Amino acid sequence: MSLLDELKELVVKGDMVNAVEKTQKALDEGLVPGKLIDEALIAAMDVVGEKYKSGELFVPEMLIAAKTMQACMEKLEPLVAADELKSAGKVVIGTVKDDLHDIGKNLVAMMLRGAGFEVVDLGVDVAAEEFVAKVKELKPNILGMSALLTTTVPQMELVIKALDDAGLRSQVQVIVGGAAVTPEFAKNIGADGYAPDATGAVNWAKNCMTGSK
Amino acid sequence: MLNGGLETDVLKILSDDDIKKIHNASMRVLEEVGVHVDDEEVLSLCEQKGARVDHEAQRVYFNEEIVMGAVKTAPSTVVLYGRDDDAKNIVLGGKKVYLGTGGTALNILDFDRKRRPTTAADIAKTAQLVDALENVHFFVIPCHPSDVESSDVDVNRFFHSINNTTKPIMGGIFTEDGVDRVIEMAAEVAGGRDKLVAKPFISFISSILSPLKVDSLRAKILIKSAKAGIPLATSVAPLAGATSPITLAGTLVQMNAEALVGVVLTQFVKTGAPILYSVVPTIMDMSTMSFLFGSVESAMMNAAGAQLAQFYKLPIYATGGISDSKQPDQQAGYEKAITALMPALAGANFIHEAAGQLDSGMTISYAQYVIDNDINGYVMRAVRGIEIDEDTLATEIIANVGPGGNFLTQRQTVEKMRTEFYYPKAATRTNYDGWVQSGKKDTWTLAEERAKEILKKHKPKRINEEIVNKIKEKEPGIVNV
C-alpha cells in the first residue's frame, strides 16, 4: 500500500495520532503537500461520506474522521502557499440571536471542514449586524444559519433583510437549518438553500460551489 | 449484545405470598376436582404410579406429594438444539429469555395484502425468513398447509421447517402416527435416533384442554414424545370467563394445575423426560364471546406464569407478542409490545407466538415477522437492562467534556453506540423531511420491503440432498414447494 493510501485509511478510521505521524512521514519522504491534501485527506473524506450514506458509519465516526483530517491539515497548511491552497469554498456559520443551541451547527461546521471547506464559526447568539459585518469582511461563498427554537427562527429573515440592505445579498449563498426550520420556511424568507442534516448541508455546499445546486 | 438467553426477573407481578396461595389452591384443585382423562392407558399408568383413579368417571386425582415429586424429577433446564449449529441452541430454564414464533394459523396476509389460506410453501418461506431474523430465537411451526393431504400434514410441516431453518423447531401434531413419522424423519436428518435424542432440534406440542381435560389423541402424543425423549410442551390455554374463572387469580390457579398435570403425566411415562411448564392464558371478550389473544390481562398472566415456573424450578413455555388485530397496524403494535415485554421482564424462557402472528393467531404475515423482530429487539434490550460499572457511569468522560460540550466524538461513544442502543430496521426515525423524501413509508411498507429482500437473498442451510431423497422415498406425501 502506498503512503497516500495508508494515510487515507488512517483518516477514514479516525486514527488521529497515526494519521498525523503518517503525514509527517510523507512530507519527510518528499511528497508534495498539495498532493497529500487532494489524494489522501479529501479522498478519505469522500470515502467517509460514502460509508455514511450506506449506513456503515455513524455520525460520530464521521466527525472523528473530520477531526483527524483537520489535524493533518494543520501540519500541511503552513507549507502550502495561500494561493496554492485549494479550498472547496469559504463558509461563515453561526446560530442566530437569542438561540444558544450549537450541536447541530458544530456538526455542520466540522463536516464542512472535513469536505475541504474553510469555515469561520461565529458561535451562538449571533446578531444580524455581526453576520452582515463578517460577510462584508470575509467575503464567504456561503453563509449558514442555524436555529433550534420556533421563537428564534424569525431572526433568519432579519439577517437576510440586513444583507439585502447592505447590498451584500447577491454576493453570498445563504443556507438555513435547524429543528424549527422547514424547506417551505427557507423558501419564504428568501434563503437559497435548506438542509435537514449535516450531510445534507455538505452536499448542498458542494453543489453550490460547482454551480449544480 | 442482544442474544437470546439474556436473563432478568425484574418484573414481579405476584408477591411470594401470592405464589404460595396460588400453589395451594392449585393443589386443592388437583386433589379434590381432579382431571378428566379419556384414555385408559394413561388412567392405568396414573393408578400404577399411586394416583387415585375413578375409571368409570375417567377421572384422576393427584395429591401434592405426587405433584411435587414429578416437579422434582422434571429437568430444570431443557435445551432445544439448533440443527447442526450449537450457536442456535436455546437453553430454557431459570430467568433466561427467548422469543420466537407460534402457531397455528390457517391464513396469511400475503405481499398483495390479501388474505388467503396458508400452504406448505408458506411454512418453508416463514422458516427461511425467521432463519434470518436475529431477534426470533426459535421456530414454532406457524401455519397449517391447506394444499396437503390431511394424513401428510405433520411430515410436511416438519420437513419444510427443518429444511429452511437451523433454529430449534417445535410444532403441534395433528395425526395419530404423526409423532412416529416425524421422529423417524428427524432421525434421518440427525444421522440416527440416538443423535436426535442427544441433541433434539425438534420438539412437540400436545395440548391439555381447559378446564382440566386430557383427550385420547393428545395423551398418546404425550406418551410417545416422553418415551422417545423428545422435549414436549403440554400447552394449556384457559380462556378467562369461558373455560376458566373470570378472575385472573382463578385462571392462574386452574392454569397452574393444568400445566402441572403435563409435568406429572410426562414424569409418569418417563422420569426425567424433558417437559416445559406450558401456558397460554387468555381472556374472552364477554361482550361478543370473541377469543382474545393480545390483551393486557394475558400479558399479566404470562408474567405471573414465569414466576410460578421459577417457583417450581421448571422451564416455561409462555405466550407473548400476540394481537387480535387483523393487519399490521397500531393495535398490533401496542398489543404485541405489551404482551411480549411483560413476560420477558418476568423472565419467561420460551415466549412463543412472538412473531408473525395476527388475528388472534389465525393469520400470519411476512411483514409482521419483520416488525416483530424489531419489537423483540426492543424487548431484549430491556431484558439486558442498564449495566452499572465504573466505565458505564462515565464520570470521567462527563468531566472531560465539561459544561456546554458534547459527547459525540468521545471514544466511548464510538465504542458503545452500536450496542448501547437497539436500532430497529423497519421503523422511521429520521426527521419529517427525511421521511417525506424517502416516500412517506409506514412500518408495514418498510417491513414488506425487508421481508421481500430476505426471502430473495437469504440462503438457509438445507438438508443434505441425499437425505432429502431418502426421506421423500419414505414419505411420498411431502410436497415440493
Question: How does pLDDT run across A122-148, given as a tens digit for each residue?
Answer: 999 999 999 999 999 999 999 999 998
User: What distance in Å separates the CA atoms of residue B298 and residue A11, rounded to the nearest whole number?
Assistant: 54
Residue with cell 460509508: A51
pLDDT of residue A83: 59
Query: Which residue among A14, A63, A179 sits closest to B408, beta carbon to beta carbon?
Result: A63
Residue A85 above 80 pLDDT? Answer: no
* Inter-chain residue contact A196 with B414, CB threshold 8 Å: no
pLDDT digits (tens, 9 = 90+) for B127-156: 999 999 999 999 999 999 999 999 999 999
- Alpha-carbon distance of A19 to A175, in angstroms, equals 32
Give domain status of residue B285, yes or no. Answer: yes
What is the reported pLDDT for A115? 82
Best probe of the B interface among A17, A197, A203, by most B CBs < 10 A, is A197
B contact test, residue of A48, A57, A64, A185 with most B CBs within 10 A: A64
Determine whether the interchain pair B414/A64 forms a contact, defined as Cβ–Cβ distance below 8 Å.
yes
> Which CATH number applies to A90-210?
3.40.50.280
What fold is seen in the domain A3-79? Answer: 1.10.1240
Number of domains in chain B: 1
- Note whether residue B81 is domain-resident: yes
Is residue B114 assigned to a domain?
yes
* Residue B445, in any domain of the structure: no
pLDDT band at A102; cut points 50, 70, 90: confident
A123 touches chain B (CB under 8 A): no
User: Could you read off the pLDDT of B51-71 as tens digits, one per residue?
Assistant: 999 999 999 999 999 999 999
Q: What is the CATH number of the domain that holds B173?
A: 3.20.20.480
Determine, for residues A60 and B418 on separate chains, whether the beta-carbon distance falls below 8 Å: no
Residue B417 in any domain: the answer is: no
User: Do the domain assignments include residue B337?
Assistant: yes
Chains A, B: CB pairs < 8 Å:
31
The domain of B288 spans 6-14+72-384
* Encoded amino acid at B101, one letter: T
Joined together, the cell numbers standing for residue B328 give 399490521
State how far the Cα of B21 lies from the Cα of B18, in Å rounded to an integer.
5
Q: Do residue A183 and residue B433 have CB atoms under 8 angstroms apart?
A: yes
Going from N- to C-terminal start, the domains of chain A cover: 3-79, 90-210
* Ranges of residues in chain B whose predicted pLDDT is under 70: 1-2
Nearest Cα to Cα of residue A69 among A136, A15, A119, A114:
A114
Q: What's the pLDDT at A84?
A: 65
pLDDT exceeds 70 at position A89: yes
pLDDT band at A82; cut points 50, 70, 90: low
Model pTM? 0.90
Residue B2 pLDDT: 66
Asked if B414 and A61 come within 8 Å (Cβ–Cβ), the reply is yes
Whether A3-79 shares its CATH topology with A90-210 is answered no
B251 domain residue, yes or no: yes
Q: Say whether A64 and B417 touch across the interface (CB within 8 A).
A: no
List of chain A residues whose C-beta atoms are within 8 Å of the C-beta of residue B434: 196-197
Residue A114's pLDDT is what?
Answer: 80
Q: What percent of chain A has pLDDT over 90?
A: 58
Name which of A60, A179, A196 is nearest B409 (Cβ-Cβ).
Answer: A60
Answer whether residue B171 is part of any domain: yes
